[in-house]
Amino acid sequence: MEETIQKLQKNGFTGDLANDPATLDFYSHDASMFELRPTLVTKPKNAQDVERLVSFVAANKKKHPELSLTARSAGTCMSGGAINDSIIVDFQRYFTKIGKITSSSANVQPGVFYRDFEPETLKHEALMPTFPASRDLASVGGMVNNNAGGEKSLEYGKTEDFVTELKVVFADGIERIVKPLTKAELDKKMKQKDYESEVYRKVFILVEGNYEQLKAAKPHVNKNSTGYNLWDVWDRETQIFDLTKLIVGAQGTLGLTTDITFRLVPHSPHSGLLVLFMKDIDDLGEVIPKVLAHKPATFESFDDATLFLAIRFMPTFLKLLGLKRFIHLIVTLTPTGLQFLRGIPKLIMMVEFNGQTEDEVRTKVHALHRDLAKHHARYEINGFEEDPSEGKSEKFWIMRRYSFQLLRSKVKDKHTAPFIDDFVVPTQHLTEFLPQLRKIIKKYKLFATIAGHMGDGNFHVIPLMKLEDKSDRKKILPAMKEVNRLVLKYHGSLSGEHNDGLVRGPWLEEMYGKEVLNLFKQAKHIMDPDNIFNPHKKSDANWEYSFGHIRDHF
């Protein structure tokens, strides 16, 4: 590897290069249950450095087939998408520029934390609304490459709906602008007679030649981060060809993103929250449609295990939140305890409405309040809290957003094993689905929290396991099979937000079938013919490889 470092420096690479044991140990993990130790960590200073990296690997791939590049920013990927046994390209160190922002758009580099990006957009009374629950930890580059969604996706959609332009270093080592093209612009692009034209020509032939099959393959769910979004690249009706749709959510397997332009939406200055404490889930089939009919901005949930976890590790919130917000949490949480005297809820559901005025929000909250008044679940099953104040409702958001961080750090002798963590099931099936899910969790004696986006049917189930224990490791594959097949039985998606990576890539054939998987593989080969970008992920994944790299020590 010293030879590689010398060659990169000789080729003009100006960023940081490191292969010391401590650095390699740190980059061998992300937020997943996998471990892959890289041989070199690079931190490019600019797009030219990224081009040099790609050109170097492309030139040396035949002689050294083990060479590859995996992009990484915040390292919060839960599917193993940000780790690699070759070269890591860390964008968090230098790609941190926030460019021009207006009330409708923003330019930003992939290493920027969302927590730093949002305050800048709010100065223009605007928002990029597809942030994940890990909004304080995630980078915008990770959001793009995983096609992130979150609590506001019910109202606004996912990251793919907000990317208007990307700069991407293709497999030939050249950075290019990628944006939607008209058919005339596409025809011109395909006539260039260079590497870029070949990519556009081959992708167009792929999506046009398999148009109906790809449209039929698109999962009928509100959120999906599995596979490659080939079905959205070309639209015969609008005659728009948009390669960003393929690159967003590709986990850096098709090229390296160096610059992002987002569409923004107006920020609603007021919000109000309605909270339902469900003692069982029998009435979900009726409650969910009633809530959705009122078109809430957000419809979230978390279960009793998440609640107990938050209470058990309440002191941890002092470190996470700081003294002022921690005191506020304690004060605002105390009255809610009176609700729990009526019985511990199995599920806590949070319905949020936005508006330009407090009266507008209050009207929306009261309308749903009245609509649920006749519902048995509203009075007999649960306590009910109506809280139009965003500040007072912060306790619920804290529990929802910080639950995974608590799981990762505070449960003794057990570790997060996010292998069934991000499925989507159409909401009309949840009444039948959730009891069967709980039955599987109980069957394998898993301690697992269930939280998620109720309005989308997107749930995060995070088991806690002793992964170094052989008996616990043996549970992973059979438990995963049962949950995933249950999800597919109800025509769901195996990932709504966290993507395929190492953990769900091997399931793409079962979800889509061999023919569609082959189309995914063709798209990968067109964009990355020598497989230099993030191998063993998505359509290139297999369970034998993935299972062989589950962490066995912590």
Burial 305-343 (b: 16+ CB within 10 A, else e): bbbebbeebeebbeebbeeeebebbeebbeebeebeeee
Residue 209 burial (10 A CB sphere; 0-12, 13-18, 19+): exposed
Mean pLDDT of 429-449: 90
Q: For residue 290, give every residue at least 6 positions away whose Cβ sits within 8 Å of its Cβ, in sequence order, or none.
A: 368, 371, 372, 375
**To the nearest whole number, what is the mean pLDDT of the chain?**
88
pLDDT at 440 over 70: yes
CA–CA separation, 526 and 233 (whole Å):
14
Average pLDDT over residues 279-287: 77
Q: Measuring CA to CA, which residue among 551, 542, 523 is closest to residue 232?
A: 523
Identify the weakest region by mean pLDDT among 164-173, 344-353, 452-461, 473-482: 344-353
pLDDT confidence band for 467 (50 / 70 / 90): confident
pLDDT above 80: residue 28: yes
Q: Which residues contact 438 (CB under 8 A, 6 or more apart)?
A: none
Helix, strand, coil shares of the chain, percent, nearest 5, are: 45, 20, 35
pLDDT mean over 470-490? 94
Task: Report the pLDDT averaged over residues 300-320.
Answer: 70
Which pLDDT does position 328 carry in this prediction?
54
Give the span between the Cα atoms of 414 and 387, in whole angstroms: 36
pLDDT of residue 384: 36
CA–CA dist 190, 472 (Å, integer): 52
| Model pLDDT, residue 49 | 98
For residues 365 and 361, give the distance between their C-alpha atoms in angstroms, rounded to a whole number. Answer: 6
Q: Give pLDDT tens digits for 515-549.
A: 999 999 999 999 999 999 999 999 999 999 999 99
Read off the pLDDT of residues 177-225 as tens digits, 9 standing for 90 and up: 999 999 999 999 999 999 999 999 999 999 999 999 999 999 999 999 9
Least confident of 65-79, 282-296, 392-406: 392-406
Residue 385's φ and ψ, nearest 5 degrees, are -125, 130
What is the DSSP code (8-state) at residue 428? G
**Which residues, other chains included, contact 370 with Cβ-Cβ below 8 Å and sequence gap of 6+?**
none
**pLDDT > 90 in the chain, percent:** 65
Q: Residue 404 pLDDT more than 60? A: no
pLDDT over 50 (residue 356): yes
CA 188 from chain center: how many Å?
A: 35
State pTM to two decimals: 0.90
Q: Of 303-312, 394-403, 477-486, which gets the smallest average pLDDT?
A: 394-403
Exposed (0-12), middle (13-18) or buried (19+): which is 359, by Cβ within 10 Å?
A: exposed
Confidence at residue 341, expressed as pLDDT on a 0 to 100 scale: 46
Phi, psi of 26 (to 5 degrees): -60, -45
Q: What pLDDT band is residue 241 in, cutting at 50, 70 and 90?
A: very high
Apex 457 CA angle, 455 and 461, nearest 5: 125
Separation of alpha carbons 312 and 409, rounded Å = 13
Altogether, the residues listed in the chain come to a count of 554
Strands 69-72 and 87-90: parallel
Q: Is the pLDDT of residue 345 over 60?
A: yes
| Residue 408 φ then ψ, to 5° | -65, -30
The number of beta carbons lying within 10 Å of the beta carbon of residue 135 is 17
Split at pLDDT 50, 70, 90, the class of 380 is: very low
